[in-house]
Amino acid sequence: MSQFVISAPPVTSVEVAGSDARFPVRRVFCVGRNYADHALEMGGNPDREPPFFFQKPSDAVVPASGQIPYPPLTSDLHHEIEMVIAIGKEGTNVSTDDARDLVWGYGVGVDLTRRDLQAAAKKLGRPWDWGKGFDLSAPTSPLRPVSEVGHLEAGRIWLTVNGELRQEGDLRQMIWPVVDIIRYVSESVTLKPGDLIFSGTPAGVGAMQPGDTVRGGVEGIGEFEFRIGDA
């Protein structure tokens, strides 16, 4: 039996609501501009653009609770509230009719973004990795299984900073609903158990500062609260 030459990294996992069990994280996919109002505020055209995707490292996923330090190399840290899809079965080239069969459950996450680094990368035609895939950049609430919440196609999604409502929308406003997201991702890669998909954010993304309290939620799934700590 072979041995690792260094200690194997720990498995990232997400709490399952009401259970001692945890959901292991394999990969994290994110959908860009999946709400029309957000696509417009970011300079896109929701009537013409197909969905596109980027990734975060699995260990960017942390509990959406307690304190999350302000990350380095930025002075423009933004919040993006999203419903999170947890994949429980393998699938390649999955049809929209079969897509729901792959879903284990749902959660609520925040796609933290170093907007200044992302903007600089866009201007130079470079990848977004340093703007999106940094440490602790995917705070995620406890997941809830489909057997409890069903497959949500509507419901309020919202985020506040220090009690001020910043983002508010409804899941029915997604340009590409869950079944389409799964279909598009599975055309490019084989989805496998443990994959998470952040499904896009409504308009109202904005900056946060150390000391800010961030709350949010998705109706039918749950809510979270965390604080932005010092750099």
Structure token pair of residue 173: 């406003």
Q: What percent of the chain has pLDDT over 70?
A: 95
Looking at residue 182, what is its pLDDT?
Answer: 97
**Section 191-204 average pLDDT:** 97
The CATH topology of domain 23-229 is Fumarylacetoacetate hydrolase; domain 2 (3.90.850)
pLDDT band, residue 49 (cuts 50/70/90): confident
pLDDT over 70 at 57, yes or no: yes
Integer Cα distance of 135 and 191 in angstroms: 23
Closest alpha carbon to 149 in 221, 86, 202:
221
Q: How far, CA to CA in Å, does 145 sit from each of 3, 141, 142, 159?
A: 36, 13, 10, 22
Q: Calculate the CA dihedral of residues 228, 13, 204, 183 and round it to 10 degrees.
A: 170
pLDDT over 60 at 46, yes or no: yes
Integer Cα distance of 129 and 197 in angstroms: 17
Tens of pLDDT, residues 167-189: 999 999 999 999 999 999 999 99
Burial pattern 171-201, b for ≥16 Cβ within 10 A else e, equals bebbbbbbbbbbbbbbeeeebeebbbbbbbb
pLDDT band, residue 2 (cuts 50/70/90): confident
For residue 84, list its beta bridge partners: 107, 198
Looking at residue 51, what is its pLDDT?
Answer: 86
Integer Cα distance of 163 and 40 in angstroms: 25
Q: Which helix (H) or strand (E) holds 40?
A: helix 36-41
Kindly report the pTM of this predicted structure.
Answer: 0.95
**Section 99-124 average pLDDT:** 97
**Section 153-161 average pLDDT:** 97
Integer Cα distance of 132 and 142 in angstroms: 21
Closest alpha carbon to 121 in 190, 169, 73:
73
| Pairing relationship of beta strands 52-56 and 28-32 according to DSSP bridges | antiparallel
Mean pLDDT, rounded, of the chain: 95
Half-sphere exposure at residue 1, Cβ-oriented, CA atoms within 13 angstroms = 0
Looking at residue 48, what is its pLDDT?
Answer: 60
Looking at residue 166, what is its pLDDT?
Answer: 98
Integer Cα distance of 88 and 26 in angstroms: 11
Domain boundaries, the chain: 23-229
